[in-house]
Each structure stands twice: as structure tokens, then as C-alpha cells.
Amino acid sequence: MSQEIINKLREDAGEIFMAGLRAVDPIYAVKRVLKLENSTLEINGRMYDLNLYDRILVLGAGKAGASMSRAVEEVMGDIITFGHVNIKYGHFDKVNKIALHEASHPTPDSAGLHGAKIIYDTLRNTNEKDLIIFLLSGGGSALLPLPAGEISLTEKQQATSLLLSCGATIQEINTIRKHISLLKGGQLAEAAYPATIVTLIISDVIGDPLDAIASGPTVPDPTTFKECISVLKKYDILDKIPKSVIEHINKGVNGFIRETPKSDEKVFDKVQNVIIASNMEAFKASKEKTVELGYNTLILSTMIEGETRDVAKVHTAIAKEILKSGNPVKRPACILSGGETTVTINGNGLGGRNQEFVLASAIEISGLDNVVVFSGATDGTDGPTDSAGAVADGFTVKKAIGLNMDPLEYLMNNDSYHFFINMGDLITTGPTNTNVMDVRIIIVV
Amino acid sequence: MSQEIINKLREDAGEIFMAGLRAVDPIYAVKRVLKLENSTLEINGRMYDLNLYDRILVLGAGKAGASMSRAVEEVMGDIITFGHVNIKYGHFDKVNKIALHEASHPTPDSAGLHGAKIIYDTLRNTNEKDLIIFLLSGGGSALLPLPAGEISLTEKQQATSLLLSCGATIQEINTIRKHISLLKGGQLAEAAYPATIVTLIISDVIGDPLDAIASGPTVPDPTTFKECISVLKKYDILDKIPKSVIEHINKGVNGFIRETPKSDEKVFDKVQNVIIASNMEAFKASKEKTVELGYNTLILSTMIEGETRDVAKVHTAIAKEILKSGNPVKRPACILSGGETTVTINGNGLGGRNQEFVLASAIEISGLDNVVVFSGATDGTDGPTDSAGAVADGFTVKKAIGLNMDPLEYLMNNDSYHFFINMGDLITTGPTNTNVMDVRIIIVV
């Protein structure tokens, strides 16, 4: 196959990726679900008669908060009463009415705490004549820190660090975090009741579980104070966790403070949670583009996890099967695969999970003249690099050897960034202000 | 979902597996491609007029050799002139005309060498009036050991061990093995020329590459003596490899002995290589069964490799996506996946790659009430156990915890065998006399 055709396939992969990215751009995603016509606000098909509300408040937290705010203002600027959204330092956008409140991520700081208090106080002073548009995106948990009871922000962080280091699962950690916070685990909805809340969500969690994205502030919490004690006992850290945390949990167990709200409680009667951007939303748009380009497309899964180089082996095994037997899809074929893999670092190179995926795949497809592998992070930042990902084909290994680079050596050293920068095969998008995990694209013709 | 329905799904998985096994049973597989009518032998659609041949010889090597021999006798017993097939110690079957010659596997021994010499001498004394049916299956390389030149069997094995320990790839090892043997890499076809050869092959190699299965005795060899030197230099073992090996390779480089035969040589004019059983042959039959049972079925790949527990994560991510969005295939869905994964042993338990796959999957699908995961080795022997594999569902973890077993602990200890024996979820078939790697079955309803 000529270099010209391979270049066309690489271009196709790039276009397919960009089509996905556009669909999960916060501005585009907000405007897709939020429509204002006369005095009716339509949100994802549900109608809100604005004559029933005295005030429209825009609140929120997350790394995409600035862009989401701008989009909301562009749709309904005039009718917003006021707004306050916690964002990450430096992630500004053009807004007029909504106050963007900068704070620290991933480690919360006092600025975040201050912003969270403003939001909490605002919510506590709403009534049934208020409509709240709540903007939630990745980082929304760290950017909305409000410890419960006598717990300080530092003690809350100590508890989280301790849980992380003892091997607790993310579910177990979230069980505790929801019970030592004032806004997580449905408590934001509780604070706002009986106001109406619509939460617009950009999902950066595998499987889009509403109760896990930014710790589900407007979603019923299935976990309990009792379960918190079980977790602390399981990892034998009852006497290591800060005293204020234990005391708070014990108060909950003994009924002195309220449980987080459960699914049958009325506080959720006036809540609408809408995922406006997710890995699947990106895939829907990417798939449309692939069809336009003439591919037979299979969405493998948006929930892929696991060690990157082994995940790559499964993907390239599918590519080889397509070549050999036309299973699981006939050529010209495109496989879309999402989620977020992990990299166990054994070397001292520079790279990210997407670049490492493409490097490991390049080794597996070496010599096949009709396969292109592309992988990119939708936030534009793959690991600690300034690149979103990389692209490779069946000639990549040969070309690398010609440049005196041993691909396997780069892989073993977790140095995919330097491999692809030398090859000229890095994908660079700049920050996209969104994050719906990764998009992997395998093209086989 | 009721236990009754789950039990039905588990039964379905078992039936789907057994349908695949039956299709790759050596007896069935030989009879499917080998048809005798009057004086015409039809092999996979090609006709052989038996009036043109004075003798019909059945030769071969491999672990399925006994069953394959029996099947050939059942089809054309009377017309076989004589036969000799090297098999593994103890792997007998009922035959009359064909001599079954027992030898050692995986480490070759003098019995294997003796049998290989008989085959070589037989081939050297054939002519164009001879038709040779050659029966090849897994283990055929170790069971057909015939070092070239002055090289002893021990020296040949030393060379292989050295290459293995220095990290050479299987392709590199085969390059050398083919050049220090008398029958590998197309040389068996060369020895038989101008007789007609039909090689019936059971493939236990990922992707069914003809030149790799049992070192491709009747297949052109793309590698050269020169490449052997490159490999030895690359791993810096020129002075560690036995002298006889180096001397033989140098003779080849300098043209004193013939290169292995290449694809344009006439020795292959009268050769037909037929894969009679492979991972895909099993899948075709398994898929038929799934359709009969009402499933929408996707053959993912017959070439899956990688670390077992990460491969499991990709498979369960697909199962979860099927539940969530109906991608890549709608419910009731069945995913078939083949190849052979690896297990990095960190614990001191007992298990095999199939059992570990199912255990790792069980943890991932815990709580999902409509998923069943099944994985089995087609040779009936998963790792060093007496089981072919295991089966699990979304209740497996809960049931295990009820039995005071921690699934994650068993996984970390690579102790899937004891986990599943306690659960009563092992799959036992006994030895199947065939090997086309593994069959994984994921059912989602």
C-alpha cells in the first residue's frame, strides 16, 4: 500500500477524533441540550415554564465550569439572576453574569472551600420559586470541598490520603467522602429543596455512574454511615483516621445527624440530572464521521480499563482478525474504543497512556500495510505531556529502526513521548476544556 | 434474575464450548476434509486420482497424531500402503496399519530422533508415484527432531535454551531452529520431492501462520542462514552457542550447504497444506450453536494475547457496554474470543490462564445479574491442572464471600483452581486429543 493511502487513513483517524472532540466541547454540549424559546426552557426534552420561577441561578464546579458557564450565558444570559461557579486556577472564559471563582485542583484549597460555602449558603436560601442550573464536570469534587461537622479541610484530606494508601477501592473512598462532606452524595439537592435543580454533567468516569461523577451532589447516595465504619475496620485504620472524622461518622451511625439522602426521598423529586457529554457522546459523533468516510464501524466499549500494553494487544488482535477473517467487522473497518487505561511505570521516560497504547500497538501491527492506530485524550493532555496522544501505522516500526530507534526499548522505558516526537507522530490539540476520557481509533482497510 | 435463568445461561455457555470442541476433534476434523469415493481422494475440495499413485504413505508428528491416524485409517484404511507417525508418550488410539511411534514432548528424546530418521529415510525414498498424507499437530516440532550436519540433539537443545534465556523472540528462535534441522522450514517437502504431499494441520499457533505451526515442515521458509548470524550477534551469543551449530550456520552462509527452500522453488509445486482444525474452526461451530440458541454473536478475535487479568478487563468492559448501550452487539449477546493469554505468576496457588481469566472477570462483573463468563482450553488441560477452565456469573463473588473466600485474594495468589473447585465451577472435559488454543465465551442477556 502506498504512503499516500496510509496518509489518507491517518488523516481519517484525525478527523474521526476531532469529530468526537467537537461533540463533547462544553459550549457545543450545553447548547445541544439547553434551548430557550419565549418563556420556556427546554432541557434535554423536558420543559420548564419560566413564568413559574422568580429567580434563575447558575451554580457549579468543575474544570469545564468556565466554558459551560459561557455557553449557558450565550443561551439565556438575560434571564439569569446570578451565578457562581468554582473553576480551576487559570481556566477562564468570557462571562458577564456568572462569577467564576478560581480554586485549586486536584488538591482542594481554602479558595475552593470559600467558593463551596458561597454555593451552600446560596442553596440554603432558595425556595420553590427558584430554578438552579448546576454545572458539573471533572474535578467537581475537589473544587467543591465542604467538610461536614467539626472536620477541617486538612483532616478530610488526611482521611482520603490514608484510604488511598491502604488500598481502599474508589467506591470505598467515596462512601466515606460522601459522609464527611456537606454537598456530596445528594446533599446539594437536599440543601436546595424545594427549589428545582437541573444538573448538566460532563462525565469523566467510566460507565458514567451519576453517583460517582464529582461524588454525585444531586444524586441519591446508596451508601451509609454504617458502611463507613465497615471500611475503616476492613483496612484497620479506625485509630489512624483523624478523630473529628470518626466522631462525625459515629454521630451518623447513632442517628444524631442525618444520613445522606436516599433514592426514595422527596428531595430528588425536583432534580433532573443530564449527562451532556461523555465518552459515548464523543463516539456517536465519531461514528457518524466514520460512516461519512465509508467505514464499517464497531463501538467496542466506552469502559476499557487495564494495563495499557495488554489492552493494546487485545485491540491489535482484533485488527489482525479483521484482516484475516472479516470478524468482528468487515473492511474497511473502524473500531472505536474508550475509557481510560493505566500505565505501570517501570522506566524513566516521558509519556501518557494514549501514547503508550499507540507505541505498544505499533509493535504489534509492524509490517501490516493496512492498519492505522490512533489514541487521544479528550482533554488534550495525555499524562504529564503537552500532547493529546499519537498515531502509528504498520510502517512505524520500520521507519523508527531507520532512525536508529528501538521501539521496544522506548516502550520498556515508558518513553512513548520521545518516540513519537522523533517520528513526528504526536497529536496536539491544546487544552480542550473538556474531559470524557480517551478515544482510541483502529482503522483496518 | 432468577438462579434458574442464570443456570440456563451457564448451560448455554457449556453447549457453545462443546460445539466448538466437537468441530476440532481430530477424528471429525480429518473426516470433514478427507473424502474417498471410488478411486478419487478429495481433500478440502482438491481431487487426487489414486490411479496415478503406486503407494499411499501416512506420516506425521504431533500430539493429535494418534487420533488423526485413526481417522485417516477409518476413511482410507485399505488403500494405505504403510504409515509412521510420531506421537507423545501415552497418547495412543486404535490403529491397524499406521505405526504409532512414541516419543518425548516438550523436550525431544532419542525415541523422537529415531522416529524422525525413519520418516526422513522414508521420504528420501519416495518418487512421483507416491502420495504422502502428512499429519501435523501441536508438538510436531519437538516430536520430529532431526538436527542437521554434525549437530547433536543435545547441542540443538542447548542452542534453543540459550536463545530462550537471552530474550530472543519466537520468530528469531524459529529462524535458527529451521536452519539447524533437516525437516523443518520446508525441508520435509524438499526431501519428499517429487512425491505429492498433503499436510493436514491442526493449528495451535495464534493466527495460524503455516510456517510457524510445528516449524512448517512443508511450507516455504522466508528466513536465511545470514539472518541466523544476525540473531546470534544481536544477542551477543556467537561464542556461547555450541560450536557445531555455528559451524553449520557458517557453512550455510558460505554456500557449502543449501538454504532452506523458498516459496518460488519447485519442491512446493506438489504440496497442499490444509488447516483442518483451528481456533476459527471451533468458533464457526460455536457460533452456529449460539445462533441456534438465539444469541446475537460477535467473534471478537482468535488472536488474543496479553496478561490474562488485563485481557479479562477488556472483555468485561465489552460486556458492560452491551448492557449499557447495546454496543458492539445487542442483547441477548454472545462474544467469542480465542487465542492464548499469559499469566505472570506472583502467587503460589494453582491455576491456568482460562481459570484466571474467569476469576478476574467474575470480580469485574460482580453484581451484574445477566452476565456469564466461560473460558476453556480446547486441549482439556488449563495450565498444570486437570481442568479445562471455569465458568462464573454476576453472583459468583457474592457466593464466594458467603463461603468465606475473598476472590481478589485468590486472584492475587494465582489460585483460580482452588477458588473454582470450592465454587463447583470448574469445567472438566478430560484430554481432548486436540489443541486449538482457548475459547472464551461471554454471554450478556
Confidence (pLDDT) at A1:
61
Q: Does A409 touch chain B (CB under 8 A)?
A: no
Query: Does A328 contact B327 at a Cβ distance shorter than 8 Å?
Result: no
Query: Does B311 contact A307 at a Cβ distance shorter than 8 Å?
Result: no
| Number of residues that this document lists for chain A | 445
Query: Does B327 contact A207 at a Cβ distance shorter than 8 Å?
Result: no
Looking at residue A393, its amino acid is D
d(CA A181, CA A245): 10
Mean pLDDT (chain B, rounded): 96
pLDDT reading at B92 higher than 90: no
Confidence (pLDDT) at B34:
97
CATH numbers and ranges of domains, chain A:
3-20+280-444 (3.40.1480.10), 25-146+181-223+260-277 (3.40.50.10180)
pLDDT reading at B26 higher than 70: yes
Confidence (pLDDT) at A171:
87
Which among B21, B10, B11 is positioned nearest to B279, based on CA atoms? B21
Give B303 to chain A, closest Cα distance, Å. 5
Give A313 to chain B, closest Cα distance, Å. 6
Read off the pTM: 0.92
**pLDDT tens digits for range A228-250:** 999 999 999 999 999 999 999 99
Which among A438, A439, A207, A444 is positioned nearest to A328, based on CA atoms? A444
**pLDDT tens digits for range B113-156:** 999 999 999 999 999 999 999 999 999 999 999 999 999 999 99
pLDDT reading at A396 higher than 90: yes
pLDDT reading at B417 higher than 90: yes
Confidence (pLDDT) at B3:
85
**pLDDT tens digits for range A44-63:** 999 999 999 999 999 999 99
Confidence (pLDDT) at A434:
93
Looking at residue A117, its amino acid is K
**pLDDT tens digits for range A156-215:** 999 999 998 888 888 899 999 999 999 999 999 999 999 999 999 999 999 999 999 999
Range B172-177, long-range pairs (CB < 8 A, 24+ positions): B172/B231, B172/B234, B174/B212, B174/B215, B174/B223, B175/B223, B175/B227, B175/B228, B175/B231, B176/B228, B176/B231, B176/B232, B176/B245, B176/B249, B177/B141, B177/B215
Which pLDDT band, with edges at 50, 70 and 90, does B50 fall under? very high
Give A329 to chain B, closest Cα distance, Å. 9
Query: Does B302 contact A280 at a Cβ distance shorter than 8 Å?
Result: no
Confidence (pLDDT) at B1:
61
Percent of chain B with pLDDT over 70: 100
The residue written with cell numbers 430554578 in the block is: A131
pLDDT reading at B326 higher than 90: yes
pLDDT reading at B306 higher than 90: yes
Confidence (pLDDT) at A55:
98
Chain B residues in contact with A313 (beta carbon < 8 A): 304-306, 311
Mean pLDDT along residues B286-305:
98
Under DSSP, the state recorded for A260 is: P
Mean pLDDT along residues A108-128:
97
**pLDDT tens digits for range A263-295:** 999 999 999 999 999 999 999 999 999 999 999
**pLDDT tens digits for range A294-351:** 999 999 999 999 999 999 999 999 999 999 999 999 999 999 999 999 999 999 999 9
Mean pLDDT along residues A125-131:
97
Q: Which three cell numbers stand for residue A367?
A: 509490517
Q: Does B313 touch chain A (CB under 8 A)?
A: yes
